[in-house]
Amino acid sequence: MPYYVYVLLCQDGTFYTGYTKNLNTRLAMHEQRKGARYTRTHKPKKLVYAREFSTRREAMRREREIKKLRREEKKKLCQSATTRHQTSRHKSIK
């Protein structure tokens, strides 16, 4: 079963990074404010990065790497052409 690492752009301009087994279900939870505590107070605007991994361990490792990035580095990551292609397959936050 694949795992996904994803980054959400919140309405206040901050980023939220997480991992999940089912990306579309997790995005719906964030949208309904049933996701992470952070996204309950920082409403998600859109999915800006998603990447699939074959194991939970790989996904968690990448999540930690992204969380350590500075804001500008996260912006670059999310603006890259490959991430736009990868995120287009998944439901977006309204």
Is the pLDDT score of 83 beyond 70? no
pLDDT at 80: 81
pLDDT at 33: 86
Whether 21 and 59 have beta carbons less than 8 Å apart is answered as no
Is the pLDDT score of 90 beyond 70? no
CA distances from 89 to 3, 27, 61 (A): 15, 13, 23
Q: Please state whether the predicted TM-score (pTM) of the whole model is above 0.95.
A: no
Is the pLDDT score of 94 beyond 80? no
Torsion-angle region of 13 (φ positive above 0: left; ψ -120 to 50: alpha; else: beta): left
Per-residue pLDDT tens for 29-70?
998 888 888 999 999 999 999 999 999 999 999 999 999 999
Which phi and psi angles does 29 have, rounded to 5°? -65, -45
Per-residue pLDDT tens for 16-29?
999 999 999 999 99
Distance of alpha carbon 16 from alpha carbon 53, whole angstroms: 18
Looking at domain 3-87, its CATH class is alpha beta
The domain limits of the chain are: 3-87
91 versus 11: the higher-pLDDT residue is: 11
